[in-house]
Amino acid sequence: MRISMFRTGLTALLTTAALLASPIAASAAPSAGSSPTPADKVNVGAYDWNNAKVAPTKAQLQQGIDDVISRTPGARQIDQTTVEMAPGLTMRFRSPVKDGARQADSPIVPLASCNIYYVCVYTDRQYGGEELVFSVCGREWNLGNYAYSGGGYWNDRISSITNQQSSGTTSYFYNYNGSGNWSRMVTVGSKQYRSNLALDTREDGVSGTPNDKIDGVHVCGSVPSPWKPNYP
């Protein structure tokens, strides 16, 4: 009788130990000292920054911002949707889904118009998507040095442009041809706009449009020849 009870108890102990050691049990129980995962970090899901049709959730937006900052030395977040990429250059992200709204019912809202004395470029036509804001005249920027959300960089992404610089100033937009050579594709004077670069022709004599082809930006001021970006 005692032997039978002993065997029954031993079997129960071995069964319990096997269950605790199984992957299912291990994943269900949090490790010692761990803290619960915040609700907004669970199942965030990937957001397609290049082809999205709806606004990101707040968690997806923050993921995009964190990715840009991690790949752009010196970049820092200054508010919910804005990153200072470098002195004189900021990136504004599309607005997230409003509190209480369904993501599926939240279209991407175009950003507000470019502020006066700035030059702004956008990833989508009609000034949509993400925005780069150039606020210092006379600088020449290589867009390949500045990360874009979800992978890649700002080169070959611009589809619309606004120049709100002071009267008489002009900004120039370049394509990189390799071997240190840059060719001017687009010229935009003060208070001029390009709402859809897919409808424009290139100024460098190459066939095709300048849409998603701009690699460098000269923000007003005199233009050296040959042109090469000097910042950073």
In a 10 Å sphere around its CB, with 0-12 CB exposed, 13-18 middle and 19+ buried, how is residue 194 labelled? buried
Structure tokens, 78 = 């200054």
Give the mean pLDDT of 147-151. 92
- C-alpha span between 66 and 60 (Å, rounded): 10
pLDDT bracket for residue 39 (50, 70, 90): very low
Give this prediction's pTM: 0.79
Mean pLDDT (the chain, rounded): 83
Each domain of the chain, given as residue ranges in start order, spans 1-31, 55-218
Residue 131 has pLDDT above 80, yes or no: yes
Q: Is the pLDDT of residue 143 over 90?
A: yes
Q: What is the pLDDT of residues 81-91, one digit of tens each?
A: 999 999 999 99
Give the pLDDT confidence score for residue 224 in this predicted structure: 87
Percent residues over pLDDT 70 in the chain: 80
Total residue length of the chain: 232
Yes or no: is domain 55-218 CATH 3.40.50.150?
no
Closest C-alpha to 216, from 124, 154, 136? 154
**By C-alpha distance, which of 127, 148, 143 is closest to 65?**
148
Residues 6+ apart with CB under 8 A from 9: none
Mean pLDDT score, 100-126: 91
- As a whole number of angstroms, the distance between CA 99 and CA 134 comes to 31
